[in-house]
Chains A and B, each alone.
Chain A
Amino acid sequence: MKAGLLGLALIALAPAAAGQEGVADPREILGPPRSGTLAGPALDARTDEVASLLRCPVCQGLSVADSPSALALNMKAQVKEMCAAGYDREQILAYFERSYGEFVRLEPPRRGVNWVVWLGPLLVFLTGGVFVIRAVRAARKHPPAPGDQTSGAPSSSPARLPEDPTMARYVLQVRELAGGSGHLEPDRAAAASSPGDRRQRS
């Protein structure tokens, strides 16, 4: 009887006794590794690649590969261990995502609402392109007549003076100071050079 109880107790304790110290093996969560085991420079390269895709949880916008914090170093050590055991990139990212959430991925995974992030810029670019093409086509259909003054601001023509005589005077003054009188319309030029202005044509 005693031996039986002891046996039962041993059976009950066996998994715990056999289990290694530490936290549960990633295999219990992820299943068997999907890639081949790695070692040497290939292992270092894969470790850096995967660690650069993980966000350091205690830093501001740094990857696990770039952060010198103790937690990031420990995370990188775990990434290395998992790469060596043959877990592929997606499995390792999924392992960390399980405990830290999607936040831990520096690249948003291509699923659900995240597609907005991936396709949004492309969509904006294409929409902009459509607008540009339409504007160019419209401009080709109705080309502006040569000498057409209706398009653009009235002041775009160098010979024109503003309607307001005071403004016209100032414009004239500026033109003269700039070194040339320009092509003036006679009537406006006369209106602009009023007798009261002493600085005119001094």
Chain B
Amino acid sequence: MNHKVLIGGLVLALSLVGLLFANLGRDPHAVTSPLVGRAAPAFRLKPVGGGPPVDLAQLRGRPVIVNFWATWCVPCFEEHPVLVQAARDLGSSVQILGIVYEDEEERVDGFLRQHGQAYPSLLDLESKTAIAYGVHGVPETYFIDGKGRIVAKKEGPLTPETLTEYLRQASASTTQGPS
């Protein structure tokens, strides 16, 4: 009986230790998006400041960076110049799109006038697009390849380095794999 208890206890303890060890080093707050590797949810949204709606489906053929942001979000302030600079450097080879998350058009318009604008920021009524993309908070950025698939998701502000790295993945994915 004692042997049985000992072996049973060891099996239980070792399996628990194994489980803990397997998850060691995993960030419990990191949420992996189930959308990575799948088709990006289609949207057609009006830009801040007026103009024709932007349709994601019509941007096929080149990587698209979709950045959810808001004027009340401090990390978005840090990130804004990185995206503006990237949009100016990359030109038409990449399309950057901002999607405004839970904010007012006037405030966003004022922010863009003050801090500069190099790509359209789109209005997302009732956060439907944000929900379809599984947005938890801002900033969150999705990298979509030329075939319309989400290649990567970045939570938190982008740096020039992370942007370049994710964009490299998106570009590589555009030219590889099944369409």
On A, residues with C-beta under 8 Å from B are 16, 19-24, 28, 57-58, 70-71, 74-75, 77-78, 96-101, 103
A21 engages B33 (CB within 8 Å): no
Q: Could you mark each residue 131-143 of chain B with 1 if its beta carbon is under 8 Å from any beta carbon of chain A, else 0?
A: 1111111000000
Contact of A75 among B34, B55, B58, B131 (CB under 8 A): B131
Contact of B131 among A20, A21, A99 (CB under 8 A): A99
Q: In the complex the two chains form, what is the Cα distance from A88 to B43 in whole Å?
A: 24
On B, residues with C-beta under 8 Å from A are 31-35, 41-46, 53, 55, 57-58, 102, 124-137
Question: Which residues on B sit within 8 Å (CB–CB) of A28?
Answer: 42
B128 engages A103 (CB within 8 Å): no
Given A22-B45, A23-B129: 12 more A-B contacts, CB < 8 Å: A22-B43, A22-B125, A23-B128, A70-B127, A71-B102, A74-B128, A74-B130, A99-B33, A99-B131, A100-B34, A101-B34, A103-B31
A16 engages B44 (CB within 8 Å): yes
Q: In the complex the two chains form, what is the Cα distance from A101 to B42 in whole Å?
A: 18
A24 engages B34 (CB within 8 Å): no
Q: In the complex the two chains form, what is the Cα distance from A120 to B4 in whole Å?
A: 21
A74 engages B126 (CB within 8 Å): yes
A16 to chain B, nearest CB (A): 5
Question: Which residues on B sit within 8 Å (CB–CB) of A100?
Answer: 34, 134
A-side interface mostly: helix
Listed from nearest, the 4 A-B pairs whose CB atoms lie closest are A99-B134, A24-B42, A74-B127, A101-B34
Residue of B nearest to A96 (CB): B131
Q: In the complex the two chains form, what is the Cα distance from A74 to B42 in whole Å?
A: 19
A78 engages B126 (CB within 8 Å): yes
B44 engages A21 (CB within 8 Å): yes
A78 engages B33 (CB within 8 Å): no
Among A24, A75, A77, chain B packs the most CB atoms within 10 A around the CB of A24
Q: In the complex the two chains form, what is the Cα distance from A71 to B102 in whole Å?
A: 8
Question: Which residues on B sit within 8 Å (CB–CB) of A99?
Answer: 33-35, 41, 131-134
Question: Which residues on B sit within 8 Å (CB–CB) of A96?
Answer: 131
Contact of A24 among B31, B32, B43 (CB under 8 A): B43
A36 to chain B, nearest CB (A): 23
Among A22, A70, A101, A103, chain B packs the most CB atoms within 10 A around the CB of A22
B44 engages A22 (CB within 8 Å): yes
Question: Which residues on A sit within 8 Å (CB–CB) of B33?
Answer: 99, 101
Sample 11 A-B pairs with CB under 8 A, ordered by A number. A22-B44, A22-B45, A23-B41, A71-B135, A77-B126, A96-B131, A98-B34, A99-B131, A99-B132, A100-B134, A101-B34
